[in-house]
Every structure is written in structure tokens, then in C-alpha cells.
Structure 1
Amino acid sequence: MSMMVCRVCLSTEEQNLLPLDETFINNYNLLTNLSITLLDGMPQNSCRTCLDTVKCYIEFREKSISAEETLRELVLNNVKSENKPSLEDRENSTTNGDNDDPPVKSEIKEEAYDSMDDFYSEYVENVNDIIVKKDEDEYDVPTKKRRKRLTATKPTKLRKTLAVKKQTKSIKKTKPDKKPTLKETLEIEMNNEKMCGICPKKFEDKNDLKKHIDVHKNTRACVICGERVNSLSQLLAHRVTHIPQGQNKCFICDKKFKSSIYLEFHYRNLHIEEDDKKLYCNQCPQVCPSPKKFTDHMKHVHSHILKYFCDTCSKGFRCKSNLKSHILSHNTNKSFVCDLCGFSCKQRNGLYLSRHMAVHSDVQKYECTRCPAKYKTKAALIAHMDRHDDNRTKQCEYCPAKFFTASVLIKHRRIHTGEKPYVCKICNKAFTGNHNLKVHMKVHGEYLVVKRDSVKQEDLINVAK
């Protein structure tokens, strides 16, 4: 099952996720030099923000490439035209060749300055024409007429700098106003239309939208995606998954919320009086009094995303608290000891809040429906029911043997591993099980085995049959 997470930014807001397509993958690979593909075992979704960002960068890239090609072509043409002498220049050069009078340096210098101004004025004006040409449908920017003069002399560095600065200032003055981006234009257009979100209808007036939503008061399923809900508040909160992000708010009071859960809680407690004030889970009978607890419940119980991993065994967990509890299982120290019997364990929860303390209680609240047997723990009742059906669910990984309970399987496994954790304090003889050690203590005059007064389970099962 694929994870419902954005492939680019790892966002988990499912209402904003859209499936990937070939166009987005090609553009994304072009920008990042990655090589992702469809159905590669990774998340196949992207949020709206990342889709728009990739699209904007692709448009910027294409625009930059086009501008660079145009500039290179323009500069190349100017250099060719300047280096190529005209027919008149050739004739003048031949006729002047017979004249023995040397040219005057001051006249050449002035002509060079004039030609320099004309050359760079022409170059910068051409750049201005390129910038303005793309927006000429919307903006009317006047340009100067060009003067063409040909000269063989080169301008000085100082005059070149002054000419470029002068023309750059004129370009800045005539620069048109910034155009709105495609994303901003789409958001404005979508926000002007009020979408129902429960069905595909759209409205221009907010009052018309409110009247239309009243039609869905008795509806308990989304017309767009078919998802079923348990209340009107949940239906109104679900509609935000099908409307633009700018309209993700309460349609009655225009108050905004960070998620649909908080919006549903808002409807339940302020606007929809007939709905319960608590939040109900659609996947289990859990009831939560607040949106935060409901969010934590969905993340810790129903989420398929494992964010936390054990450094020792690489096992994954949904929440950090479960990881902390698991890490204690790798600890060899059993620091929590029962005050009644000396039993020790690694975790406090495993001692006081779970199975062990039920051993010291006389209350047997788990009853078998097929015989009079009663048990203190639910695990004992499940093992008893498996005996009724002869269902041995615990399989040994070393041999074909099967057992009803995990404790018997652990004791059996020690036959294959050779582990004998129970050692006699008098003679140091070791045993695989605690019961075997108690039987052994009779040799030393200690009788630790206590027989039960209650009826054996096998006899109860035989009575039930």
C-alpha cells in the first residue's frame, strides 16, 4: 500500500495530494537530476504547492533559455555588420589612397567618440526592444530611432561605461509593471467562484451557496468522491477536500482552521446543535473529546507511516512513546519488582497495568461461553477457547511442535537452544522451567509446588463436550 505523502516535501495533508503524471515526473527529473518513475514503490502523490512550484521553475527555465538565445543572435549580427565594410567605404578607400595628405588626429578621435555612442546606443536599445517585445500586447513602450554609422575605430573604456549606464537608467524608467504569476491568477479566479464541495456545483454569490448547502442537510455521503460520513458536521468538514485552499473555512462565519478535524469540531460545538459535541472515528469505536486527541488517535492507531525506528533491531513504530517502550525490551536489567511475590520485569507498564497484577487478584472477570471456566486475564481465556477448538496457534521454529500458549512455547524452545535459566541455589543444578525447579527443591526438603483446588481445565472442557 502506497503512503499518502507528498513525494517532494513529505506533506501528509491528504486533501491537498494529487497523483503524479508523466509531465510532472519529466519536469521534476529535469530540475533535480533525479530519475524517479511511476510505480517505483515510492509515494505516487504530490501536493498542490509542489506542483505549482515545479511548473513555475520550468516556465522560468524556458524563458531564460529563450532570452539567452535571442541575445546571442543579436550580438552576433551586430558584430558581423560592424566588421563588414560597405561598397562606398571600399570606393572611398581606393580614391583616398592616392592622396598623400595625412589625416588629422583630432578629427579621427571625435569620429571615434561619436561612433562609440552610436554603437552602444544601438546595442542597448536592441536589448530594450527584446525585453519590451514580449509584453507589447499589453504595454506600449516608445523606442528611439536608430542612427547607423560605420567606423573602424574602437571606443574607449570610459565612454563605453558611461554609455551603458545612461541607457540602463532609461530602461529602468520604461520597465512595465510586474505581471501576476499563473498561480496568483488561478487562485483569484478560483476564489471568485464559490464551490459547494459536496457536489460539483459552483456559485458566484455567498448567499446562494448557503441556500444550496441546506439541500445536503439530510445527506450522509459525498456526491463527488462517494465517502460516507456519520453526521452533518463531518460532511461539512469533508467538503474542504474538494474546494480551493482559499475557501478552506467555515461557510457560516468564515473562520479558518488548520485541518478538517478542527473545522468539524467547530461545526459540532457552535453551528450544528443536533450533532454530538465529540469526534467519532470511522474506523473503530473510539470517541475523542478534542481535535488534538483525535489527531493523535489517527496517527498512533490507524496511520501506516512508521516514523520512528529502533537502532538495535530496526523495528518501526508510529509514535515516539511506543519506541521508548520498545527500547526497554533490549535492556537486560529488570528494575521493576513486585512487592507481593518478587516478580521482576523491565517495564512498569508490563508489571502494574497489565497481566501480572491480575495474578494477585481474586476477580475472574473473563468467562468462557462454552463451559463454566473463568479466568483473570483475557490471554488465558483466549488460550482456553483454543483448547475447545484444538487450535494450536503457537508454532515452534525448530520443529513441527505447536502449542496453545506462548509461555509453553518459550519453555519448549529452550530444549533446542539449551538455555536453562532456573538454577538451584543449593546444588547449582539448572532447569528449563520454574516448575521443574520447584519439583527439584523436594530433594532439599523444600516443598514449593502448590496444588490448585479448582477443577482442571481439561475436566471443564470434557464437561462442556
Structure 2
Amino acid sequence: SHQLTGSSDVHTGYHVETFSTSREQPQEDQRDKRSHHCPHCEEIFPFLSKLKIHLKIHTGEKPYSCSDCLKCFKTSTHLKVHQKTHTGEKPYYCSDCGKRFKTSTQLKVHQKTHTGEKPYYCSDCGTSFSNLGTLKTHQRIHTGEKPYSCSDCGASFSNLGTLKTHQRIHTGDKPYVCSDCGKCFKTSTELKVHRRTHTGEKPYYCSDCGTSFSQLSHLNSHERIHTGEKPYSCSDCVKYFKTSNELKVHQRTHTGEKPYVCSDCGKCFKTSTELKVHRRTHTGEKPYYCSDCGTSFSQLSHLNSHERIHTGEKPYSCSDCVKYFKTSIELKVHQRTHTGEKPFFCPDCGTSFSQLSNLNSHERIHTGEKPYSCSDCVKYFKTSSELKVHQRTHTGEKPYVCSDCIICFKTSTELKVHQRTHTGEKPYSCSYCGKCLKTSNELKVHQRTHTGEKPYVCSDCGKCFTTSTHLKVHQRSHTGERPYYCSDCGKCFKTSNELKVHQRTHTGEKPFFCPDCVKCFKTSTHLKVHQRTHTGERPYSCSDCVKYFKTSTDLKIHQRTHTGEKPYSCSDCGASFSRLDTLKRHQHIHEGEKPYSCSDCVKCFKTATELKVHQRTHT
């Protein structure tokens, strides 16, 4: 039979029940066999002294304080162990590997890593452990017991170590310091993982692709790329995620929670990473450098995308048209061209956009905001991209190279459009006439020939134009500005295209060939007009007499026969003419000039018509 005895703890004021398992044992053994129950959490201790120490967990009593740092402890033993952190003393030595420890218990636990001894078994799942404390903590997984509560927020934990780590969130205590860079961490594990950023150690390997990781959790997440496993589901929209952290961040799209606040501008963010990246807009920090060209970036993902410019890698393919893209975002945006999705709406005019950045840029049309300024010429721009492209006019940088003809361009868009001259691709078709164009902008401008829309108005004379470029060129007729200068003869021109065409008079270049008669022309317009002599096409009709003409200029001159308009006047006699070439011929009368000579008899004439009539006398 068992002998029950009762005793009271005078020091704590708790009544503690004890019992012994046999009366036949000597008194010392009986003391060893007694069990002492904690009235708070039901833990059992073989000695009353152990129970007394344990009770201090519940009372919070820490009567032993360190004279070096004033930390307090429940027992003199704990204090003694702690003081060794100040003295650096580690008197217990492992004979197998030479490691030293502050306590004999730490040494004893460590030695089991050499012997492989795990004498403590879990009766629920059979897992074995090297020490009793680890077993007890493990068993709480099965029982769900969390006896350690945080006095600040009420969170409960299954072991004291986890509680202590948690409490550092409230105290801000980070006792583990990196000897390489001085960063501080809440746990020794965090420090251990951090140190791998200095050592480069990545001990966890993926068996599928060989990629290595510094943390086991990162490996586990990575392996789900191969397995496709997404074990974390959102209860609001039933989306699935590979990690609990991805799920947590996603759920903030439903709750609207943005717990990370920028101390500089007050903007809020869903993740600490987003905040960290945002802060670089204030600090100007760009820690990621391209090893090929030295360009720096504020985000690693931006560097990765940029590097694909050098490698030509496009790992993301569209399942609808098999186009390839450098980033998953580019692919996502592209796919909207197939679905027609435009999820971003302007609250002012209702225009919708496939990209948020396009909406943000568009909204500045309404606000007039141009927040990006050029440090070279103080021009202002609506977007950072516009500024970046503009700055290349100062630096002369043309980073985008055509692989077919090695022509360089300031923007990837210019390169993309140019490459269509090689491929012949014209992906934008007009819904009115079926004509195909190389760019969406060309299509937009072309469609105005059907709609008659001329949205750009000259503030000086009220004339309207289909494009801003045409308006800009027209305004130079008021200002007299001719910013394009010929280095051969000094003539100035209103547009770069006029200069380019003019320079062909010096070089003799005629790059546009007629496939029907092999005649060459300086401009594509001249070629186009010429080809109508083969096709007979006369697309310009007179509304007064229904005559048709090959060019809009021919039509304009013809219409003067109806209106009587003669805009060209002779400065010598005041005679006026409907055509400039007629005026020029007339002026030969005053100048006595006869520029047209007969090759048969060397007679000279004032006009080409007079020469033509004369040449008939020879035939």
C-alpha cells in the first residue's frame, strides 16, 4: 500500500502533496522516490527543492540578480551559469571534439550527439530524444498544451524558450551579435542563419535541380516549384499558396491591412520588403550592380530583368501566341492583349488601361503634374521613363542594338518598331479599312483619316492637326524656328526628316526603289506618288468637279482654279500665280535668265515648256 503524506511550503505558502512508492526502502531512497505536484500545471518533481524552483515560473519571482548587468534569475544556479557569459568561462570540456560548455548539463546533452544516444521515447509517435526536457516539449504537440503565457499580449507557448524569444518582440532585446557586421538578432538561430550571408554557406540542396539554400524553410518552399504543391489556402477566395507567408501577405488584399509605414512620407505597405524597397526612393540607395555595364538598381528583381538585356534570355512564354518575355510581369501585361482586359480605370474620364503605370501617367494629363525634372536642361516630365529617355539626348546613349543591322536606339520600343522593318510584321489592323500598321500609335493616327479627328490645335492660327508632331512642326512656321542644320551647306530645316531628305542632294542617295521600273527616289513619299503612274491610282478627288489626282498637292493646286486663289506674287511687277513653279518661271522674264538649254543647238530658254516646243524643230 502507498503511504500518503502532506506538507506545506512555508516559503511559497502553497500546500504540496507528496507520496512515496514503498515503505521498505531506506529513508534516503524514499526521499528520492517521492513525487511533488505543482498545483498550477500538474508537473511532478522528485525533490521539493526542484518544485520550489519551478513555482517561481508561476510567481515570476527572480530573487538572484547579476552585479554586472542587473539581470535577475530564479535560482542561484541560473545566476552562476549566466555570470559565465561575462567571464567567458566554459569549464566543461568535450573529449571527443574539444568544444567547451558553461554547464555540465550542456556538456552531457552535447555528448549524445557523438554517441547518438536518444534514450527518451514519445509514447504517442515513437520519436526519440537525447534529453527529457526536449521530450516533454515535444509531447505538447500531441496534447496541445501551452503552459507558458506572455504577460504583455497573452500569447501562449509550449516551451519556455519560445516564450522568451517571443518576449523580445516587446522588449526589443536582441542579445545575439554578429561579429562580422555588428547586426543584432533575437535568437541564436537567426544569428546562425545570418552568418551564412558572410560565409556564403548554403547547406540545403534541392535533389531535383541542385539549387542550394542557406535555410531549410527556403529549400522546402523551393521544392514546391517542382511538386506544384500549394498547401496554404485562402478562406476568402480559395487561392492556394506555397508558403504560409505568401498566404499571410495575400490575405491583406482582402483586409486592406498595410502594417508597414514609411517614416519619411507616411505611405503604408503590405510587407516589410515593400517598405524596404520604397525607402530607397528617399535614400537613393541602389545596392544591386550589373557586372556587364555597371548600371545599379534598387531591387534585385530589376537587376535580374536588366541582365536579360545582355543575355537575351526570355524565360516566360505566352501560351496564346508563343511570344517570349524577360519577366513574368511583362508576360501578364502582354496576355491582356489577348483577353482585352483593362482593369485600371481613370476616375476623371473613364478611360481604362491594361497597366497601372499607364493609368498613373494618364492621370497626370488631368492634373498637369510633371514631377520628374531633367538636371541638364530643367525640362519636366510626367514619368521617370520619359525623363530617362530624354536624358539620353544629352548623353547620346543608345543602349538598344538591332541584331540585324546594328542600328542603335534610345528605347526598347524604338528598337521593337524598327525590327518590324526586317520582319515585315504589322500587328495592328484598322477596323475601318483593314490596313495593317507597325505600331499602335500609327494605327491611332491612321484612324483619324477615317474619323476626321484633329485633336491638336494651333494657338496662333487655330489650325488643327492629327498629331502633336505635325502641330509642333507647323508652329515653327509662326516662330521661324529651324533647329536642324545641314553641315554641308548651312541650310536650316524645320524637321529632322526634311534635313535627312535634303542631305541626299549632297550624297546623291536614293534609297527607295520602284519594283516596276527600278527608278530610284530620295523619299518614300516620292516613290509612293510615282507608283501611282503604274497603278493609275488617283485617291484625291475634287469636291467641285469630281476630278481625281495622284497627290494632295496636285488637288490643292487644282482647287485654286475654282477658288481663284493665287498665293504667289512677283516682287518685281506684282503679278500673282496659283503655283510656285509658275511664279519662278515668270521671274526669269525680269532676270533675263534662260536656264533651259537645247542639247542639239545650244539655244537657251526661260522655261522647260519653251525648250520642249523648240526641240520639236529638230525632230
Fold shared by both chains (TM-score > 0.5): no
**Higher strand proportion:** 2
**RCO (CA 8 Å, sep 6+): is it higher in 1 or 2?**
1
Task: Give the TM-score band, short-chain normalised.
Answer: 0.3 to 0.5
**Higher helix proportion:** 1
